[in-house]
Amino acid sequence: MNNNNVSKSPTGGKGAFKIQGTPNSPVLIFSNSLGSEMMMWDELIPYLLPYFRVLQYDTRGHGSSLVFLPEHKKSIGQLGEDVIQLMDELGIEKAYFCGLSMGGLIGQYLGIHHPNRFIKIVLSNTGAKIGNDERWNSRIETISKDGMQAIVDDTMERWFTEEFRRQNPEKVAETKAMFLRSDVQGYSNCCCAIRDADFREQLQKLSVETLVITGDEDPVTNVEHAEFLATNILNATLKVLHARHLAATELPKEYASVLIDFFVGNNTFDRGMHVRRSVLGDAHVDKANSKINDFNADFQSFITNYAWGEIWTRPGLSKHNKSLITLAMLIALNRPAEFKMHVKAAFNNGVSADEIKEVIMQSALYCGLPAANDAFHLALEVFSPLTPDGGI
């Protein structure tokens, strides 16, 4: 599967998704708002890939995913079970989850009914109950008669602050085009699901650690809605951003930072340890930590903070590419122990044996044949227990 392209459910199930990131990283699932496609999260992804394998998907009735069939109940429960089905099909046992608006309702359902599948949950710009029957029935009637064009301008005003709309006309136009692509029937069915969803009496059953996010100018799910969620969920905190309803699109860098603070930690050491474990593996890091003493403690802290917390978390290069660069530099510097460690790490970062071979071949040209010869021998020592044939 190409991690950079939209794929279809591997068993013909729920629909379209995109997964990016290195295989040893924990999975973070994004769930969209009503009238949005998976692209709504794209600007956040580069900041998150140092920490997570990111799974975006189109909610049923949106984008390239399936519609509700006549026999399906149009419910948030159905949309939540779609997430569980997709996780099962992709072999994802547990994940982090972030859902906005309708996605936040889906997150509430998942936290209540499938708490063992989620590590932490973010409920963004949502409520335990959103709107009333009159509001949703009126919207369904309007778009059924006049199409999505009839509500698009009002939607953009609810989604973005006046300042954002004025300063970012291209982004607003892109979002508007996404909204207008919405299938009227698929959108209407999801309106029914939101209309009928009410988690106000069930929030105490949501035991997963939760962050509630909203915008201080959100006219749809306001601060009061968010405070109700944070108060009634056992282990929840609240973060208010200066935004309207589509806070993740309006403030992608700040929003990503809030997610990292909550999911990973708000200090360099915690972030570095998270990345260090995803790259080197728990066994390696646990072994290193078990050997910490008064003599080397400062050095171990330096490694975690500086190398892993400041450099490996930078979003400018993928971890895959960082592994290739690191291997090349270690060959040039003749650091055999570090080279072997980073060959193992490269596998965790999705680097193939063929790619490692090409790095060594390139090093033969610029670092010399003896250096490349040693690198081939060292790489084969690492490959032996990791690959079925014991070699490249």
Write down the pLDDT at residue 67. 76
Averaged pLDDT for residues 364-372: 96
Query: 10 pLDDT band (50/70/90 cuts)?
Result: very low
- pLDDT tens string 294-316: 999 999 999 999 999 999 999 99
Residue with tokens 């779609």, as numbered in its chain? 82
- pLDDT tens string 205-223: 999 999 999 999 999 999 9
Domains and CATH numbers, the chain: 7-263 (3.40.50.1820), 268-386 (1.20.1290.10)
Query: 80 pLDDT band (50/70/90 cuts)?
Result: very high
Distances (CA, A) of 248 to 102, 339, 377: 14, 39, 48
Averaged pLDDT for residues 43-70: 90
Mean pLDDT, the chain, as a whole number? Answer: 93
**387 pLDDT more than 80:** no
- pLDDT tens string 319-352: 999 999 999 999 999 999 999 999 999 999 999 9
**6 pLDDT more than 90:** no
Query: 65 pLDDT band (50/70/90 cuts)?
Result: confident
Share of the chain above pLDDT 90, in %: 90
**392 pLDDT more than 60:** no
Write down the pLDDT at residue 64. 85
Averaged pLDDT for residues 363-389: 88
Write down the pLDDT at residue 9. 54
Q: Answer yes or no: are the C-beta atoms of 248 and 41 closer than 8 Å.
A: yes
SS (HEC) of the chain: CCCCCCEECCCCCCCEEEEECCCCCCEEEEECCCCCCHHHHCCCHHHHCCCCEEEEECCCCCCCCCCCCCCCCCCHHHHHHHHHHHHHHCCCCCEEEEEECHHHHHHHHHHHHCHHHEEEEEEECCCCCCCCHHHHHHHHHHHHHHCCHHHHHHHHHHHCCHHHHHHCHHHHHHHHHHHHCCCHHHHHHHHHHHHHCCCCCCHHHCCCEEEEEEECCCCCCCHHHHHHHHHHCCCEEEEEECCCCCHHHHCHHHHHHHHHHHHCCCCHHHHHHHHHHHHHCHHHHHHHHHCCCCCCHHHHHHHHHHHHHHHCCCCCCCHHHHHHHHHHHHHHHCCHHHHHHHHHHHHHCCCCHHHHHHHHHHHHHHCCHHHHHHHHHHHHHHHHHHCCCCCC
Write down the pLDDT at residue 247. 98
Write down the pLDDT at residue 5. 64
**15 pLDDT more than 80:** no
Parallel, antiparallel or unpaired: strands 118-124 and 53-57: unpaired
Share of the chain above pLDDT 70, in %: 94
